[in-house]
Structure 1
Amino acid sequence: MSLSNSPRYFALIPAAGVGARMQADCPKQYLHIGGKSILQHSVNAFLRHAAIQHVFVVVSPHDAYVAQELLKDERLTVLFCGGETRADSVTNGLDAMAGQVDALDWILVHDAARPGLTPDLISRLIDQVGTDEVGGLLALPVVDTVKLQNLSASQHQVKTIPRAGLWLAQTPQMFRHRVLSDCLASAKAASFDITDEASAIEASRLIPQLVEGHWCNTKITRPDDLVLIDSYLAKLI
């Protein structure tokens, strides 16, 4: 594969989920922190980074919130092509943006519900991945003792497993447009369980780089997560 002499970077944020575990009245990406929606915070991290050419947000075709909860910007496009799964939304987004990007442009896929992302973390990912042919993602090395529970046994069994080499995946996950599109299509055709973009890359026997992230980039999944990130962002606003 030949590498681009002038790499370009685009953000793709799948935001078509409903966030059922938050037990909120609206999808969690539209809950507010510091007067802004969670989605707006996530988008702003990319808009504040000079290297990001454009930000694409993928929402449900019937989304009723984004027009009120996401400010317009000349570097921002909302795509109403969200799918049933995250992988479907990312695939649909990649297809929709194909006319505006090149095959070797970098796509930074980011969870809408990670509002603690900072431009510095984006820079760290871009700088450390560099011109790698595959790409990479932000992640955190596991520091706690890890327990494995076997629920299929006649009696629940628990054992400690070594944490050396274990990482918790975060986002953005940065891969070239053609590579990511091809790997997602191959993984889906093989009925592979696609839990994030890197898992699709790995299914094609490619090896992404792991770039150390930060706890502030935690994904909001449950109400307690919202309180934690609200406290962190309040210090920055």
Structure 2
Amino acid sequence: MTNTNNSLNSASSKASPKCWPILPAAGVGSRMQADRPKQYLPLHDQFLMDHTLRLMLSYPKFEQLVLVLSETDPYWPDSAFANDPRIIRAPGGSERCYSVLNGLRALEGMAAEDDWVAVHDVARPCLHHSDLDALFSAVENSAINNTGACGAILASPTRDTMKRGIKQPDGTITIDHTVERDQLWHALTPQVFRYAELKQALEFCLQNHLEVTDEASAMEQVNKQPLLVAGRSDNIKVTRPEDLALAELFLAQSLNQS
């Protein structure tokens, strides 16, 4: 009877892959026109990045996370999470795709091939746990039902009329044509894929000089089809100065509701 129970326990553990968040945070955020990278701008008396780290580390599926930082980052020691043992540091790369790959390599020997990795923009501090629930429910159901989907990303359906622009010789941009918005989505994060599959896809794309704008695009380049999971529209990415005020508003609303 003991041997049977041990076998069942072993099978159960194999059926429950771990989930590893990876947060690229090595960018300089030049479009913010600030004196420091955007992840270190103040937001409700904390670093913007600290809000993101707190929401990720408080999610039940995440025991640890990988934070990808510039090796010359002078601001990290002032973070509230600088000495948190749950954070695994990885060195930043020249572009996001290299940083994410460095984050994946930092998990070698810890992550199993079929573990999930969730890559999230550190400049998206307004993510809700309910969106994480929906994302993991989608990938887990896909794995159970063997639908063939390689993973999933949070996304938002396009609501506005979309125009394809064309640059004129004088530098101005005019409308070339209106793009049909049906089935157009704004890609958000997190983006969730199997550890080994994402690592292999990124390595393949970089070795073959293929364009990688996000993790889903790397999977697309190797003929995979990630799921689109509708997420909240307040999961904004702080990119420009006006975004910071909007993030502050959304966080205030979230705090008032909790």
* Paired AA for residue 87 in structure 2: L
Alignment match of 1:58 (pick from 56, 68, 72) = 68
The answer on 1:167 being equivalent to 2:185 is yes
Deviations 1:48-87 (A, max 9, x none): 11111211101001111112124233322232x1010000
Farther off after superposition, 81-90 or 184-193:
184-193
Alignment match, 1:179: 197
Distance change (3 Å), C-alpha of 1:47 and 1:156 = closer
- Write the mapping of 1:1-237 to structure 2, written as runs, cut at 5 A: 4-71=14-81, 72-79=83-90, 81-130=91-140, 131-132=142-143, 134-151=150-167, 156-158=173-175, 159-237=177-255
Structure 1 residue 156: deviation in Å? 4.8
Question: Which letter maps to 2:19?
Answer: Y
Which deviates more, 123-132 or 185-194? 123-132
Cα deviation for residue 121 of structure 1 reads 1.2
Stretch moving more, 95-104 or 105-114: 95-104
Change (3 A) 1:63 1:6: same
Distance 1:118 1:36 in 2: 18
**Secondary structure, in 3 states, of the residue corresponding to 1:45?**
helix
Counterpart Cα distance in 2 of 1:38 and 1:216: 15
How far the C-alpha of 1:201 sits from its partner, in A, is 0.4
Contact kept, 8 Å, 1:39 with 1:70, in 2: the verdict is no
CA distance in 2, matches of 1:99, 1:128: 27
Over the aligned positions, Cα root-mean-square deviation in angstroms equals 1.6
- Which whole-Å deviations, capped at 9, do the CAs of 1:9-32 have from their partners, x for residues lacking one? 110000000000000111001111
Q: What CA deviation, in whole Å up to 9, does each residue of 1:196-232 have, x standing for no partner?
A: 0000000000000000111211111000111111111
Q: SS at 1:235's partner residue?
A: helix
**How far does the alpha carbon of each residue in 1:79-105 deviate from its partner, in whole angstroms, 9 at most, with x for none?**
2x1010000000011111112111110
Question: Which region of structure 1 is more displaced relative to structure 2, 164-173 or 62-71?
Answer: 62-71
**Residue type at the aligned position of 2:252:** A
CA distance in 2, matches of 1:156, 1:37: 37
1:99 is paired with a residue whose SS is coil
Q: TM-score, normalised by structure 1?
A: 0.94
Runs of 4+ in 1 over 3 A off after TM superposition: 152-157
Check the 8 A contact 1:19/1:27 in 2, yes or no: yes
1:184-205 Cα deviation digits (max 9, x unpaired): 0111112111100000000000
Q: Which letter does structure 1 place at the counterpart of 2:253?
A: K
Structure 2: which 5+ runs fail to align? 1-13, 144-148
Under a length normalisation based on structure 2, what TM-score does the superposition of the two structures give?
Answer: 0.86
Matched position secondary structure for 1:56: strand
Matched residue count: 233
Structure 1 portions without partners, runs of 5+: none
Question: What's the offset of the Cα at 1:152?
Answer: 5.2
Structure 1 residue matching 2:100: 3-state secondary structure: helix
